Amino acid sequence: MTGGYTPTGRRAMIFIDGENLSVRYERMVKDQGKLPNPNVLFDPARFLWHQNLAALWPLEIFRVLYYTSIVGTHDDLAALEDRISGVEWKFKSLVGQVVPRVFKKAKGGDKTKSVDINICIDVLRHCHASDVDVVVLMSGDGDYLPLLREVMRNGKQAYVAAFSDGLNPAIRRTVDSFQSLDRHFFQQ
């Protein structure tokens, strides 16, 4: 292909802990005075997106999954799923919709274990089925360290993108590649 996208042969899926990213982003804006990038889509504690997320690495992304949870009715969950699935990710000539995984919370709070557990189940399922060569996790939560190590023990590459706020320092040392999301979501 001339001037176009050249496949790498490394199939990748992106798993986004939307709760983690939303909370960290909001904290950096409020507590650290960071100025949001104008291209950021943000709905507090529900949804955070930047158009360049799928292009952080030159991988053959075939799916982007966004995990979050909310307090609300089934209609509220459906409305958030519609909003998330209405967002497209793009990388070179590849385009797809963000796939929502929205869970219902019983009451308010920053985070629920439903998101973490379902990310782990889905990542392990895809690794064991050899659907992916690279797992991209967007979260700096240290609770994912055992998952990332298991991904690598299964012969897959583990990439992580996260904010500097709340980043477990062991993640940088554990994975094959790390990218900070700070420069994409905030003005420099």
State the CATH number of the domain containing residue 99: 3.40.50.1010
What's the structural domain count of the chain?
A: 1
Is residue 104 in some structural domain? yes
Which uninterrupted H or E stretch holds 48? strand 47-49
- The span from the CA of 160 to the CA of 142, in Å, is 11
What pLDDT, in 10s, does the model give residues 124-158?
A: 999 999 999 999 999 999 999 999 999 999 999 99
The confidence band for 2, taking pLDDT boundaries of 50, 70 and 90, is very low
pLDDT value for 108 = 63
Burial of 60: CB neighbours in 10 Å, binned 0-12, 13-18, 19+: middle
Can you tell me the mean pLDDT for 110-122?
87
The pTM of this model reads: 0.91
Q: Which domain holds residue 151?
A: 11-185
The answer to whether position 107 is within a domain reads: yes
**Residue 25: pLDDT above 50?**
yes
* pLDDT for the residue numbered 110: 53
In this prediction, residues 39-53 reach a mean pLDDT of 87
Hey, what amino acid is at 177? S
Nearest to 22 by CA among 156, 155, 163, 187: 163
Please, what is the Cα angle at 166 between 78 and 45, to 5 degrees? Answer: 20
Token pair listed for 105 = 């919370």
Predicted confidence (pLDDT) at residue 68 exceeds the cutoff of 50: yes
Residue 36 in any domain: the answer is yes
Q: What is the mean pLDDT of residues 11-16?
A: 95
Q: Is the residue at 3 inside a domain?
A: no
In a domain, 141, yes or no: yes
First to last CA, the chain: 35
Report percent pLDDT > 70 for the chain. Answer: 92
